[in-house]
């Protein structure tokens, strides 16, 4: 299915050559997830390259919310944080998206860290209330009720005029505070 030359380079561990083949194919077939994964796999051997950052960010931005994609995104997120040189290139929008994805997927620690980072780096970002609400909902599903309540209280305190604060107040009323 893939260019035999690219696969031959990959098998021979000639990652730079394989990457160029897969990158060209991905430009022709931008929605092919397997090609995107191959681009990432071959680019990560040069974690300083623009191609590595681009390949990682492409996979971190996948819109699908299924469990497999969320687990893959979580794995790539950790790899990217550890390997990216000189530093990861995570936009505020991506921080918000990943925090919500990881909260929904039950990866609380990473979701919390991303929420804190988002609030520090972009304290007026429009998605912060949605991130805080997603975290609270995830805590509720996991029966972490103290964190659920404190998360909703934080949301109401910091963003009282947001639609999410109204939802948070309703959730607290239903939960019996």
Calculate mean pLDDT across residues 31-56: 94
pTM of the model: 0.88
- Output 2 or 5, whichever has higher pLDDT: 5
User: What would the pLDDT profile of 58-80 be if each residue is shown by its tens digit?
Assistant: 999 998 888 889 999 999 999 99
Long-range contacts of 18-22, Cβ-Cβ distance < 8 Å, separation of 24 or more: 18/42, 19/43, 19/51
For residue 15, the tally of other CB atoms under 10 A from its CB is: 16
Q: Is the peptide bond before 86 cis (omega within 30 degrees of 0)?
A: yes
* pLDDT the model gives residue 140: 94
CA atoms within 13 A on the CB side of 73: 28
Calculate mean pLDDT across residues 158-174: 95
Calculate mean pLDDT across residues 19-47: 93
* pLDDT the model gives residue 64: 83
* pLDDT the model gives residue 89: 94
């Amino acid at each position: 299915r893939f260019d035999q030359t690219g696969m031959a380079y990959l098998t021979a561990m000639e990652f730079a050559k394989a990457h160029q083949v897969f990158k060209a194919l991905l430009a022709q077939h931008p929605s092919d997830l397997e090609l995107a994964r191959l681009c990432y796999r071959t680019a990560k051997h040069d974690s300083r390259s623009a191609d590595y950052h681009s390949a990682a960010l492409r996979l971190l931005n996948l819109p699908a919310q299924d469990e497999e994609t969320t687990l893959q995104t979580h794995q790539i997120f950790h790899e990217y944080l550890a390997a990216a040189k000189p530093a990861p290139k995570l936009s505020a929008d991506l921080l918000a998206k990943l925090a919500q994805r990881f909260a929904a997927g039950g990866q609380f620690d990473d979701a919390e860290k991303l929420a804190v980072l988002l609030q520090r780096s972009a304290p007026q970002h429009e998605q912060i209330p949605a991130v805080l609400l997603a975290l609270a909902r995830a805590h509720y599903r996991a029966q972490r009720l103290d964190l659920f309540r404190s998360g909703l209280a934080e949301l109401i305190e910091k963003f009282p005029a947001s639609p999410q604060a109204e939802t948070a107040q309703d959730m607290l009323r239903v939960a019996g505070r």
